[in-house]
Amino acid sequence: MKRLLLLLITISIFRVAAYSQIDKVLSAGSLNENNNYSKMPKPTESTYFITGQKFKPFAATDIKGNKIDLNSLAGKVVVINFWFIACAPCVMEIPGLNKVAAKYANDPNVVFIAVAMDDKNAIEQFIKTNPFGYHLINSGIPFAALYKIHLFPTNVVLDKQGKVLFHSSGYALNTPYWIGRSIEEAKQKNL
């Protein structure tokens, strides 16, 4: 019992320290070349997708009642994040993901979708104190299972043809930078 308590305290201390470090880095500036993100190694590719492979589409409804159908998003760049509330790395990357989503908020040709494993009520409570600038799809376990995703967070950027352009699993400080870079690359393809 004492070991379990000690382990929980240690994990809590680590989470607080990690959150404070990430906040310092994210508040230092935008996600651009000047922050040395481009000099960091590219985030680890996920094992669930292959770059250039057509992404198997899905359809769902987000927590606001909007229908999201990947088939209807042909010709748009689509960014998808698979996550859950109790996943510390997932929560840690949200501020950076929000910065990327904010940059493209007025671009109708870039769509951001977050597939949460949690139920709608849990997500609604969570976003009251942790806003997330993506379309939020709840109860996403079947979607994660469709792609055999079991490591979170997992991020995917699809080009205008629905092919995987970027994909990563796990937390990396420069994931938002690479998502933004991939969006720009996708927008330049087939102009």
Predicted confidence (pLDDT) per residue in 137-161, tens digit: 999 999 999 999 999 999 999 999 9
Q: Is the pLDDT of residue 183 over 80?
A: yes
Answer whether residue 98 shows pLDDT above 50. Answer: yes
pLDDT tens for 13-53 read: 444 444 444 444 444 444 554 568 888 889 999 999 999 99
Cβ pair 55, 86 in contact under 8 A: no
- Distance spanning both ends of the chain, measured CA to CA: 61
How far is residue 84's CA from residue 73's CA, in Å, rounded to a whole number?
Answer: 24
Q: Is the pLDDT of residue 99 over 80?
A: yes
**99 to each of 39, 55, 87, 118, 177, how far by Cα in Å?**
19, 25, 20, 23, 10
Task: Report pLDDT for 2.
Answer: 58
Q: Single out the residue of 151, 144, 67 nearest to residue 111, CA to CA.
A: 67
Q: How far is CA 176 from the centre of its chain?
A: 8
Could you give the number of structural domains in the chain?
1
Q: Rounded mean pLDDT of the chain?
A: 87
CATH number, domain containing residue 172: 3.40.30.10
Which whole number is the average pLDDT over 47-75? 96
The alpha carbon of residue 35 and the mean position of all alpha carbons in its chain are separated, in whole angstroms, by 20
Domain that holds residue 182: 2-188
> What pTM was computed for the model?
0.83
DSSP structure class, residue 148: T
Would the pLDDT of 168 be above 80?
yes
